[in-house]
Amino acid sequence: MQFVSVRVITHDVARLAGFYEKATGLAARRRSEQFAELVGPSCTLAIGSAETMRLFGAGAAVPESNRTAILEFRVEDVDREYERLAGLAEIVQEPTTMPWGNRSLLFRDPDGNLVNYFTPSAP
């Protein structure tokens, strides 16, 4: 088994894909108006429209209702990313060194999903 992607369901694929392009520096591959992917070296962030959920079962995923999952990205410098994201995202937690050593920045994407940029204290 290989874990390869996380998919976020939204009412506005273009808006959310555009946000993640700015936040990550990755270019989104837009397969259709209802689907986009940002492919990174270790995982893919897929963005699907609420309309696509009819294919899987109506109501299986509800856009803008996540309060349990955190999308996490390992970055080179959390503090530099914080400065870059100012004005782009709602900051939930400014850069903080966590008890386990990671330097972490929490923010929300336009749909309210929680995102963590972190830098490990050791390689």
In CATH, the architecture of 1-63 is Roll (3.10)
**What are the tens digits of pLDDT across the range 72-115?**
999 999 999 999 998 999 999 999 999 999 999 999 999 999 99
For 54-122, the DSSP string reads HHH-TTSS-TT---S-EEEEE-S-HHHHHHHHTTTSEEEEEEEE-TTS-EEEEEE-TT--EEEEEE-S-
**What are the tens digits of pLDDT across the range 27-75?**
999 989 999 999 999 999 999 999 888 777 777 788 888 888 999 999 9
Q: Residue ranges of the domains in the chain?
A: 1-63, 66-123
- What would the CATH number be for the domain defined by 66-123? 3.10.180.10
